[in-house]
Chains A and B, each alone.
Chain A
Amino acid sequence: MNAAAFLRRLAGRPWLWAYVAAIAVWIVTILFTGGRGAGEVLTAAFTFATFSVIVGIGQMYVVTLGPGNVDLSIPATITLAGAVATKVMDTQDGMILAGLAVALACGVGVGIVNYALIWLLRIPPIIATLSSSFLIQSTAIAYGRGIRIKPPPMLADFTTAQVFGMPVLAICIIALAAVMELVLRRTLYGRWVTAIGQNIRAARLAGIDVGRTRFAAYVMSAVFAGLCGYLLSGFSGGSSLSMGEEYLLTSIALVVIGGSSVAGGNSNVPGLWGAALFLFLVVTMLNTYGFGAGTRYLATGLIIIAVIVAASARRPAR
């Protein structure tokens, strides 16, 4: 195989880079410890990456719809779903499924509100999801204030369970990611989303129902945020008012670093996992080498900017 063809193959799989970077960072980390704790680092990485991948999938579907499409209401939805679910379950194991249903219903509701604002007020999705996030956040704060309710023990056990050092939850979400990749590549819906992101006018003229497809993507993003809130409240011993905060920036960062195009129309799910592991491992590496929180933030920011600049070189000028 000649070099040019090899490079082209690589460019066709931009998500590989996220894994390459993740592995490199992991090696640098365990070099410092002399190999000790290599497994534990990976376990922790999978544990924490899981939650960001869940919301990353939803965000990715929204971003795929094309320029200007982004869901800023993810953190608020996580918080609301977590708060409502823990309250409904009220520490009882028997209510676990009811709690899940309620969390997902929160997501459906938020998604409908988001798209209604986009559609009725004809405002850019950023503003629509921004203003709805204000309302959702307030609702969550007002609803969730007061005593901290513990999650049902079975849910807590499930979210922290491990099989041979691999978190069970991570395995489930890897399966979910695989399904969502299949949806993106091999179903009508996935093709429609991708087509709209490349050229919304052409998509309409090719007979695609643009409105319904976008609606579904926004609902999906909110539902995944609800799922994330539900699992997170089980994992971290109850819901908290700031539990969603970091997931806005993380969800967008995963999409970018995972090699999906921010301009839409070209996305992939595997990259989300690579990016999530990479981001967590960078934090671990910096911690291991004794750097503080400031350096960690700085590194994360510079990585995002570097990736987007590098991606702009790959994208053909239009």
Chain B
Amino acid sequence: MNGASLARNLRMLLPAISLVVLLVAIYALQPRAISYVGFNLMLNLAIPIALATIAQMCVITVNDLDLSIGTYVGFVACVGATMLTGGVAALPFVKDLQASGALPAVLPWIMQTPLAGVLVLAFGIVIYAALGALIHWRNLPSIVVTLGMSFVWLGLSVLILPVPGGQAPAWIRQMMTLKPAFIPFPIIAAIVIAVIAHVLLMRTSYGAVLRGAGGNPRAIERAGWSLLRVKAAMFALAGFFGMLAGLSLVGLTTSGDANIALRYTLLSIAGVILGGGEFVGGRISPVGAVMGAATLTLAGSMLSFMRISPDWQIGAQGAILIVVLAARTLIDRAERSR
């Protein structure tokens, strides 16, 4: 094994090491937390965060950044809590219209079918793909475009659901509260997410092209691939995983709220970096990203076991991020100086 790949393996192991260190620390503080119930409680919220992290990772793969993922997840949650349950009829403003008599008390089936929710969610993914295409076509800075989109998603969420409320579809709620034998659901879910993302990006033949576009776009273009299509595909994937994040989140909280996931934007970026992903160059690790998301979630539990005020939760997340980045820099330096 040469030095470069040794350093790379060490870098790749960093997410796993940080996760294990955290678990050991939690076990030392509160042994009972390492149990079926304990994991259920501690890792529940890791599922949507992991999905959002995978979404962010798709965008980072092609050297862009998505500052709108948080509000997009919130938007999906609002759609999930309304239109995916009761169709257009479940929207608060439609109910207001009914109350004022502008609409009849009993609406036709077409307005009650959850299909409307499915269509809106599909529309979200199409918007994402279009954004990717727009960013490539006009060579726009993704930070600014997605910053604008974060307002757009927030606005749409507030239009759909002006005050927190609504109800998640029963099937999502049931799925999120599954109690499989032996292994807690969040762990199974995390593994499934990691495997799917890994197969999609790391194992398929087009996945290689998608990642290659982050590593050396000119080479991909010279080999005859369309970078426009690659960008659109990656953003569409981000939209898809972001949608899953929103649905799983609303399944846990059971009701929607436009501001429910604002912090996901920063968390998802942190998760990708913690998971061993690099900002540029298409070097990513879906498995690491899921672990990174779990690490960030567990950091909160860890603090409460240490009886430290939850005020410090995000501080701890920031500190972990800095420590891991510092470790990575040290590894790189040690490798280079040899």
**Cα–Cα distance between A103 and B200 once the two chains are bound (Å):** 49
Which residues of A sit under 8 angstroms from B151, Cβ to Cβ? Answer: 249, 297-298, 300-302, 304
B140 A138 Cβ-Cβ under 8 A: no
A299 B155 Cβ-Cβ under 8 A: yes
Which residues of B sit under 8 angstroms from A133, Cβ to Cβ? Answer: 266, 318
| A262 is an interface residue with CB less than 8 A from chain B | yes
Among A117, A139, A262, the residue within 8 A (CB) of B141 is A262
| A123-B325, A130-B266 known; A138+B148 contact, CB < 8 A | no
| A130-B266, A308-B148, A309-B138 known; A295+B155 contact, CB < 8 A | yes
Which residues of B sit under 8 angstroms from A303, Cβ to Cβ? Answer: 148
| A34 is an interface residue with CB less than 8 A from chain B | no
Contact residues, A258-314 vs B (CB, 8 A): 262-263, 292-305, 308-309, 312-313
Which residues of B sit under 8 angstroms from A67, Cβ to Cβ? Answer: 141
Cβ distance B208 to chain A, nearest Cβ, rounded Å: 25
CB closest chain-B residue, reference A302: B152
B140 A309 Cβ-Cβ under 8 A: yes
A292 B269 Cβ-Cβ under 8 A: no
CB closest chain-B residue, reference A70: B143
CB closest chain-A residue, reference B323: A131
Q: Which of B17-25, B239-247, B306-314 contacts A (4 or more CB under 8 A)?
A: B306-314
| A126 is an interface residue with CB less than 8 A from chain B | yes
Cβ distance B337 to chain A, nearest Cβ, rounded Å: 14
B316 A138 Cβ-Cβ under 8 A: yes
Among A131, A252, A294, A297, the residue within 8 A (CB) of B321 is A131
| A263-B141, A309-B140 known; A294+B155 contact, CB < 8 A | yes
**Max count, chain A CB within 10 A of own CB: residue among B154, B270, B317:** B154
Which residues of B sit under 8 angstroms from A305, Cβ to Cβ? Answer: 145, 148-149, 152
A138 B329 Cβ-Cβ under 8 A: no
**Cα–Cα distance between A130 and B153 once the two chains are bound (Å):** 22
Q: Which of B1-9, B157-165, B178-186 contacts A (4 or more CB under 8 A)?
A: B157-165
Cβ distance B146 to chain A, nearest Cβ, rounded Å: 9
**Cα–Cα distance between A122 and B332 once the two chains are bound (Å):** 11
| B65 is an interface residue with CB less than 8 A from chain A | yes
Which residues of A sit under 8 angstroms from B148, Cβ to Cβ? Answer: 253, 300-305, 308
Which residues of B sit under 8 angstroms from A36, Cβ to Cβ? Answer: none
Which residues of B sit under 8 angstroms from A117, Cβ to Cβ? Answer: 322
**Cα–Cα distance between A80 and B322 once the two chains are bound (Å):** 20
CB closest chain-B residue, reference A241: B311
**Max count, chain A CB within 10 A of own CB: residue among B148, B153, B156, B309:** B148
B311 A130 Cβ-Cβ under 8 A: no
| A175 is an interface residue with CB less than 8 A from chain B | no
Size class of A's contact patch?
A: 35 or more
B158 A297 Cβ-Cβ under 8 A: yes
**Max count, chain B CB within 10 A of own CB: residue among A67, A131, A293:** A131
Cβ distance B32 to chain A, nearest Cβ, rounded Å: 27
A134 B314 Cβ-Cβ under 8 A: yes
B138 A312 Cβ-Cβ under 8 A: yes
| A300-B151, A304-B151 known; A292+B158 contact, CB < 8 A | yes
B154 A142 Cβ-Cβ under 8 A: no
A142 B158 Cβ-Cβ under 8 A: no
| A317 is an interface residue with CB less than 8 A from chain B | yes
Which residues of A sit under 8 angstroms from B280, Cβ to Cβ? Answer: 124
Which residues of A sit under 8 angstroms from B38, Cβ to Cβ? Answer: none
| B134 is an interface residue with CB less than 8 A from chain A | yes
Which residues of B sit under 8 angstroms from A252, Cβ to Cβ? Answer: 143-144, 147
**Cα–Cα distance between A297 and B153 once the two chains are bound (Å):** 8
| A126-B65, A294-B156, A294-B162 known; A138+B313 contact, CB < 8 A | yes
Which residues of A sit under 8 angstroms from B319, Cβ to Cβ? Answer: 134-135
- A131-B322, A294-B158 given. 16 additional CB < 8 A pairs? A121-B325, A123-B329, A126-B269, A127-B321, A127-B325, A138-B315, A249-B151, A252-B144, A293-B158, A293-B162, A297-B154, A301-B152, A302-B152, A308-B145, A309-B138, A317-B139
Chain B residues near A (Cβ < 8 Å)? 65, 134, 138-141, 143-145, 147-160, 162, 266, 269-270, 273, 279-280, 309, 311-319, 321-322, 325-326, 329
Can you list 22 pairs linking A and B with CB atoms under 8 Å apart? A124-B279, A126-B279, A130-B266, A131-B321, A134-B314, A134-B318, A134-B321, A135-B318, A137-B315, A141-B314, A145-B309, A292-B162, A294-B162, A296-B155, A297-B151, A297-B154, A300-B151, A302-B151, A302-B152, A304-B144, A308-B148, A317-B139
Chain A residues near B (Cβ < 8 Å)? 67, 70, 72, 117, 120-124, 126-127, 130-135, 137-139, 141-142, 145, 249, 252-253, 256, 262-263, 292-305, 308-309, 312-313, 317
